[in-house]
Structure 1
Amino acid sequence: MKYLKDVQEPGMGTWYFEVDHDGTAYRQMVHNDDGSWITSNRKHESRHFLLAEHPLDPKEPYYEEISQAAFEELWQKQLLGGMEDWQRIQRMFPIGARVEGWIEAFFPQGTLIQLLEPHAVGLTDTSALEAGTPAEWMYPRYRVVAEVAGYDESNQWVLLAHAEVPGDQYDEADSGK
């Protein structure tokens, strides 16, 4: 992996990326000029799940390569800010529990599932999900049921196995939200 820093135009903040040898981003952070942060592991109210959709070229002059340690230090500070929520989520979703949510986004790590609990994000294997799901159901908002298999501590995601898409879309009105 490579770690990149990009100082955008004034007012755009500083962007940080973890990319593989092909330039695919796996983690991303933005430190806004107002001091706030956006990280790719959490849904942002206006930026959704912010992660570069196209490969980055680390040779571009606007990218500065930084150390993995520098990236991890910033990432860990952001994880600490959500630690109370993360511990609550782990208690609510014990290993082996059946859970429900909906497809939220597709990342290189897998399919992100918004679980039916604020701030709770699940991750399931995209290939396995596609194998048992018609292509027309592999879109955001389609309902997913799965089993908790573990936890991704580096992203604060609930790892999901045996995920299935029943074929209906999630409707917030049904949940009373």
Structure 2
Amino acid sequence: MKQEWYEGEKTYYFELDTEGTVMRQIIKQRDHLFASNRPNFCLSETTIEFEPYLSIQCTEFDEAWTKANVPFMNDWLETIKSIKDDTEVEGYIEVIYPQGIIINLGNGKYGITDYEECKRVSDSSNIYTGNRIKGKISGIDNINLWVILKETKVI
């Protein structure tokens, strides 16, 4: 479900799951678009009740998402050329989203890992922003421009 909301000079675009959890978000302020995947990490923590009269087409959301990510695309293309599965990487926890733990890998690179998987091997009281974390590369998420990590552990 895609929905938009106006507040002052900002327009918010949301991609919602069936429970109203925001999965992706774009903020439009004047001529600028900011996506929730980087570098400001602006994802609503509140569930949103879907209102059909506020819905937008998926293509409209996806076009805005692509446009918001244009400044990061060259770095992303270099990232996917340089990574190899099962390579161990290290970074720090940037934010925790419904999709999982977002990890800052440095140099504009971000990863994601499953929260529950990480919790199985790390004390959950250590899973918070700023803490160091390591894991192995297992794939890529071309929509969010994230490296997917497995076997993660807070260090």
Task: Give the structure-2-normalised TM-score.
Answer: 0.93
What are the superposed Cα offsets for residues 68-117 of structure 1, whole Å, 9 maximum, x if unpaired?
Answer: 111111112223332101012223432221100011111111110111x2
1:31 Cα deviation (Å)?
Answer: 0.9
Residue aligning to 1:77: 67
Q: Which residue of 24, 44, 57 maps to 2:21?
A: 24
Over the matched positions of the two proteins, sequence identity in percent amounts to 30
Residue aligning to 1:173: none
Count of matched residue positions in the alignment of Structure 1 and Structure 2: 155
- CA distance in 2 between counterparts of 1:163 and 1:135 reads 13
Is the aligned partner of 1:131 residue 2:130?
no
The higher radius of gyration belongs to 1
Counterpart AA for 1:79: N
- CA distance in 2 between counterparts of 1:149 and 1:135 reads 22
Residue aligning to 2:132: 143
- CA distance in 1 between counterparts of 2:50 and 2:129 reads 30
Q: What do you get for the CA RMSD once the two structures are aligned?
A: 1.5
Counterpart AA for 1:8: E
Residue aligning to 1:36: 32
Is there any run of 5+ residues in structure 2 with no aligned partner, and where?
none
8 Å Cα contact 2:3-2:51 kept in structure 1 = no
What are the superposed Cα offsets for residues 14-39 of structure 1, whole Å, 9 maximum, x if unpaired?
Answer: 11000011110000001112x11211
Residue aligning to 2:5: 6
Residue aligning to 2:50: 58
- CA distance in 1 between counterparts of 2:108 and 2:82 reads 12
What SS is found at the alignment partner of 1:106?
Answer: strand
8 Å Cα contact 2:35-2:69 kept in structure 1 = no
Is there any run of 5+ residues in structure 1 with no aligned partner, and where?
167-177
- CA distance in 2 between counterparts of 1:114 and 1:18 reads 23
Which has more strand, going by share of residues? Answer: 2
Counterpart AA for 2:32: S
Is the aligned partner of 1:101 residue 2:70?
no
Counterpart AA for 1:148: I
Task: Give the structure-1-normalised TM-score.
Answer: 0.82
8 Å Cα contact 2:138-2:149 kept in structure 1 = yes
